[in-house]
Amino acid sequence: MVFEILDKRIQQVLRDKDIHEPTGPQREAIPLILEGNHLLLVAHTGIGKTEAAMLPIFHRLLGTPGKGIKCIYITPLRALNRDMLKRLTEFGEALGLDVAVRHGDTSQAERQSQSKNPPDVLITTPETVQVLFTGKRLREHLSRVRWVVVDEIHELASNERGAQLAVALERLAEVAGEFQRIGLSATVGSVEEVARYLGGAREVRTVRAQVSKDLEVTVQAPQVTDADRDLAGRLQSDPHLVAGMRRCKSLIEEHRSTLLFVNTRDTAEAIAARYHIWDEGFKVGVHHGSLSKEIRVEMEEQFKQERLKGLICTSSLELGIDIGSVDFAIQYNSPRQVARLIQRMGRAGHAVGERTEGAIVASNPDEIAESMVIARKATAGELEDLRVREKPMAVLANQLVAMAMVGQVEKELAYQVIKRSYPFRSLTREEFHGVLDQLVRIGLLFDNESKYRRTSRGMRYFYDNLSMIPDERTFLIRDIATRRIVGTLDESFVLSFAEPYAAFITHGKTWRIVEVREDELLVEQVRDIGSIPSWTGEDLPVPYDIAQEVGRLRRERGYGSYAADRDAVRELDRYLKEQDKDGAVPSDKLVTLEMGKRMAVLNLCFGTKVNETISKVLSVLLSARLGESVGVHTDPYRIVIELPRDINPQIIIDTLRSIRSEGVEALVRLVLKSSSYLRYRFVFVAKKFGAIEKDADYRQVNFTRLAEAFEETPLFEEAVRRVLWEDFDIEGTVAAMRRIESGEVELKVMALTTIGRAGLQHSRELIMPQRADHSILMALKKRLESEVMSMSCLNCQTQWRLKPQDAPERISCPKCGGQMIAALLPYNKQDIGLLKKPKPTEEETKEIRRMYKNASLVREHGRRAMVTLAGRGIGPDTAARVLSSFYDDEDEFLRDILSAELTYARTKRFWD
């Protein structure tokens, strides 16, 4: 048995942990690692990948004397670091080996301790690896590294964080000499590509799990009941979504511990909030990356201890974070990609040999069909290919500066080190020197002929840009009652939405904003439905192959090949039969154009990125042809075109056919020059090149002037290439257009049909219904009628409470009989105080009259006057008492004073 070749002390620790038999991957991997091979281990979650890598390393460590970091264990998430520290420390303590963690949250004292007394095993993140090269003492410790383990390597290989790490590993080889590389990956479609990423030019052996879990996933689409329609009104939601929530709730209640995966953070918040309003006794939590670390850990612990029956989560719990025993997993609506479904379902039965059980609960026919296809591909092991992006120049710029943090760098050495990494294997010297020269012009580096060194600005740049993750400024959310940090909101949401008394959802609860501060929101919890925040980097694209199979399913209707319950099949079949009555069904071999009033729907089963690419080119060409703007929005199965006027459908067909396959990239590059995509990506790349500061607001950047200044430079070309990689699919679009050109895919013009209308009526994971039916309106009416209002007499300021359902036909003040009555919500009933006019003090009157000597000035600058007074320490109530004497028209005064009140509240902190 393979455990018998390990050190006796390790065997004893395994027995103490009640581990007696190795898993299949452990049986294969441990001997290969002991032989010194570079290795990529590919397996589902929960079959001992970590132990397969670390047991042979612990065995070697026990025979490796000396001080210094000998093994670096890299994970993509800090939460994974916490788990790994706990798991590996148990082994380390038993074996007399020191294990430590280092990342952005590590205290200064702990970092200093690690510099003086380095651990044998250091657990860290890709970003922190960058910092390890900078300290003299840390570099000395790194010189003893003999093993590097990259956990969840599939999460890194295809993005810029991964390219940065690949270069870092080559830099480490310069410091430590060659070391053994071990990668741990979930099941991916292109194992060889990930192995090449791990090793660069080195040979990497691969081990794929022979012990595959039995995956049992069914697609479910519950029918809408009358109870769902009634509940939809109370929850301000769509009956189909409520039916899905009801099914998820019953599945959670049937099992001991269930993970409910959703695709976006806003969906997680929307569902959690509605569950809490629906049934306070339903023990379900919410977990995603924009909640505070404290709350995420609390949710994980409550779930482990089974105080929560369910946890609504995003990809934050996809990876191997320890959350205890999970016996069921639910995916709400399609997971968009096969690999995501396998990873998420793999969290159920998270132990060797356990069966994986799960369900996809879909809310509409498009989601049903897509889910059926993905579930079939998952059980058949047909995963998407993972591709490593070649030559991301923003990473090259970042690493050139990083390498100069320890002194002068030989240009040729830097080029050779970077070129050894797999993402930069085809980097030319011309490209290398182009980026280097640009960094010199920007002011991050000095050019010393055959060498280069950093500037002082270059050092600031390095620490500001340790991470290649696109960053948006975030605001903390602080509970005013407990002073606890609840989570974060992106700046774009705060600036467009946040003001006092606005309500939003996070942590599955609704919060009302009390005060907006410079970097945080003070909030209080309320029982209501608030707005759903938006966060950057959300929904996943649907690949071309999946959209094509959805098209084939529509055409062939071979439902028996797919795992779906009777309701799901019935709903999808009903949808397609309705489409049959309308004409033809768009499929993998038919594109239909549906014409409506000043709009058109182009149905193409080409997937998210191909449809996005075609739509952007089509909109520009149509706009040029019509002489007016044409709007577009897309999903994986259609392009909705907003026209300035009704046009002949042949114009759209001719314009689509004019997009020749060989000219797609040239057309897209032309379109990009005026695209919002390029604006966002360009600002990110410019930050990573150091051309603009890290905290610059992209909305304040003069994009046109900046783009003109950097056109035909490596920076500008990198921004364009990044858009083509991240947002578009040139290769897929070329293939799709060739099929249209050859006649393999037909085009047909129709009136608006069932499938076309579906694209107009629902967007992905919509929470609010587009059109409220009678039951929703009646439920909403009932809720509004029972809302308690603070009635306020504008004459005598008397206030009393009243529900609309109890209100007489004519409302009058019970004290003075006045009929000028304001209806205020409880939280702003104090606004009635603005109408009170107690006599100001003599000093206040003199000060205000000195500042504002005539009434016209006050009326002209009413709001500015209020802010200026606030700056002098005179609050709005006092100012109102004096300023009102300048107004003849009380309504005019009230309008000015109320608008000024809001301005005062927003500027008070500045004046303070």
DSSP 323: -
Dihedrals phi, psi of 642, to nearest 5 degrees: -100, 115
The pLDDT score that the predictor gives to residue 772 is 47
d(CA 37, CA 203): 8
The pLDDT score that the predictor gives to residue 852 is 52
Calculate mean pLDDT across residues 277-285.
82
Tokens standing for 661? 């396959």
Quick one: 500 exposed, middle or buried, by C-beta within 10 A (0-12, 13-18, 19+)?
A: middle
d(CA 167, CA 171): 6
d(CA 899, CA 220): 51
Dihedrals phi, psi of 521, to nearest 5 degrees: -110, 130
Share of the chain above pLDDT 70, in %: 79
d(CA 104, CA 125): 9
333 and 363 in contact (C-beta within 8 Å)?
A: yes
Tokens standing for 501? 């008394």
Cα–Cα distances in angstroms (integers) from residue 859 to residues 864, 884, 894, in the given order: 10, 10, 11
d(CA 318, CA 297): 15
H, E, C per residue of 873-910: CCCHHHHHHHHHHHCCCHHHHHHHHHHHHHHHHHHHHH
Calculate mean pLDDT across residues 109-126.
82
674 and 708 in contact (C-beta within 8 Å)?
A: no
Cα–Cα distances in angstroms (integers) from residue 866 to residues 873, 895, 908, in the given order: 11, 13, 11
Q: What is the pLDDT of residues 221-235, one digit of tens each?
A: 988 888 888 888 777
Task: Say if residue 23's pLDDT is above 90.
Answer: no
Cβ contacts of residue 78 below 8 Å, gap of 6+? 103, 104, 105, 125, 293
Contacts 24+ apart (CB under 8 A), 520-523: 520/475, 520/476, 520/477, 520/478, 521/475, 521/476, 521/477, 521/478, 521/489, 521/494, 522/478, 522/480, 523/477, 523/478, 523/479, 523/480, 523/486
Q: Which of 511-515, 529-533, 622-626, 875-879 has the lowest mean pLDDT?
A: 529-533
Cβ contacts of residue 336 below 8 Å, gap of 6+? 263, 370, 374, 539, 540, 541, 542, 546
Task: Say if residue 164's pLDDT is above 80.
Answer: yes
Q: What is the pLDDT of residues 582-632, one digit of tens each?
A: 889 999 999 999 998 888 999 999 999 999 999 888 888 888 888 877 888
Cβ contacts of residue 478 below 8 Å, gap of 6+? 484, 485, 486, 520, 521, 522, 523
The amino acid sitting at 21 is E
Task: Give the E-state strand segments of 673-773 in sequence order.
Answer: 746-751
Tokens standing for 580? 């049959």
Could you tell me whether strands 789-793 and 821-824 are parallel, antiparallel, or unpaired per DSSP bridges? antiparallel
Q: What is the pLDDT of residues 464-499, one digit of tens each?
A: 887 777 665 677 778 877 777 777 776 656 655 556
Band (554; pLDDT cuts 50, 70, 90) = very high
DSSP 564: B
319 and 295 in contact (C-beta within 8 Å)?
A: no
How many other C-beta atoms lie within 10 A of the C-beta of residue 912? 7
How many other C-beta atoms lie within 10 A of the C-beta of residue 712? 7
d(CA 824, CA 828): 6
356 conformational bin, left if phi > 0, alpha if psi -120 to 50, beta if neither: beta
CA 704 to chain CA centroid, Å, is 28
pTM of the model: 0.75
Cβ contacts of residue 576 below 8 Å, gap of 6+? 365, 554, 557, 585
Tokens standing for 369? 């069909």
Tokens standing for 453? 């060194």
d(CA 647, CA 599): 9
Quick one: 684 exposed, middle or buried, by C-beta within 10 A (0-12, 13-18, 19+)?
A: buried
The pLDDT score that the predictor gives to residue 211 is 41
d(CA 240, CA 229): 8
The pLDDT score that the predictor gives to residue 770 is 37
Q: Which of 698-702, 705-709, 720-724, 726-730 has the lowest mean pLDDT?
A: 698-702
Task: Say if residue 49's pLDDT is above 70.
Answer: yes
- The residue whose two tokens read 């030019």 is 201
Band (193; pLDDT cuts 50, 70, 90) = very high
Band (765; pLDDT cuts 50, 70, 90) = very low
How many other C-beta atoms lie within 10 A of the C-beta of residue 367? 24
The amino acid sitting at 741 is E
The pLDDT score that the predictor gives to residue 883 is 58
As a whole number of angstroms, the longest Cα–Cα distance in the chain is 97
Three-state secondary-structure class, residue 506: strand
Cα–Cα distances in angstroms (integers) from residue 305 to residues 254, 288, 323, 350, in the given order: 18, 19, 9, 16
Q: Which of 253-257, 302-306, 417-421, 674-678 has the lowest mean pLDDT?
A: 674-678
Band (166; pLDDT cuts 50, 70, 90) = very high
d(CA 561, CA 113): 59
Helix (H) or strand (E) holding 664: helix 664-672
CA 154 to chain CA centroid, Å, is 17
d(CA 436, CA 430): 10
Could you tell me whether strands 71-74 and 147-150 are parallel, antiparallel, or unpaired per DSSP bridges? parallel
Length of the chain: 912
567 and 223 in contact (C-beta within 8 Å)?
A: yes
Cβ contacts of residue 55 below 8 Å, gap of 6+? 3, 6, 10, 26, 30
Share of the chain above pLDDT 90, in %: 21
Three-state secondary-structure class, residue 522: strand
Calculate mean pLDDT across residues 432-455.
90
d(CA 815, CA 736): 75
d(CA 623, CA 859): 46
Calculate mean pLDDT across residues 97-110.
77
How many other C-beta atoms lie within 10 A of the C-beta of residue 305? 9
Task: Say if residue 784's pLDDT is above 90.
Answer: no
Cα–Cα distances in angstroms (integers) from residue 358 to residues 267, 318, 347, 484, 637, in the given order: 19, 14, 10, 35, 26
368 and 362 in contact (C-beta within 8 Å)?
A: yes
Residue 691's closest CA among 444, 499, 475, 476? Answer: 444
Q: Which of 419-428, 518-527, 712-721, 875-884 has the lowest mean pLDDT?
A: 875-884
Could you tell me whether strands 121-124 and 71-74 are parallel, antiparallel, or unpaired per DSSP bridges? parallel
HSE value, Cβ hemisphere, 13 Å, CA-based, for 569: 11
Q: Answer with the residue of higher pLDDT: 847 or 97.
A: 97
DSSP 259: E
The amino acid sitting at 418 is I
